Amino acid sequence: VKVHLDSAQVQMPGHLKGMKLWSLNPQTGLWEEEGDFQHDRSRRSKREERTFLVGNMEIRERRLFNLDVPESRRCYIKVRTYRSERYLPSEQVAGVVVSVINLEPTAGYSSNPRAWGRFDSGVTSS
C-beta neighbour count of 111 within 10 angstroms: 15
Asked if residues 40 and 32 have their Cβ atoms less than 8 Å apart, the reply is: no
C-beta neighbour count of 105 within 10 angstroms: 19
- What pLDDT score does 91 carry? 93
54 burial class (0-12, 13-18, 19+ CB within 10 angstroms)?
Answer: middle
One pLDDT digit (tens) per residue for the chain, 126 residues: 676 666 677 666 676 677 777 888 888 878 888 777 676 666 555 556 655 555 666 666 777 877 777 766 666 778 889 999 888 999 999 988 887 766 655 555 555 554 445 556 677 776
- What pLDDT score does 93 carry? 92
- What pLDDT score does 4 carry? 66
- What pLDDT score does 125 carry? 78
Tell me how far apart the alpha carbons of residues 80 and 2 are, in angstroms, rounded to a whole number. 47
Between the CA of residue 68 and those of 1, 4, 65, 93, 122, what are the distances in Å? 17, 14, 10, 40, 31
The answer, as to whether pTM is greater than 0.85, is: no
| Helix (H/G/I), strand (E/B), else coil: 12 | coil
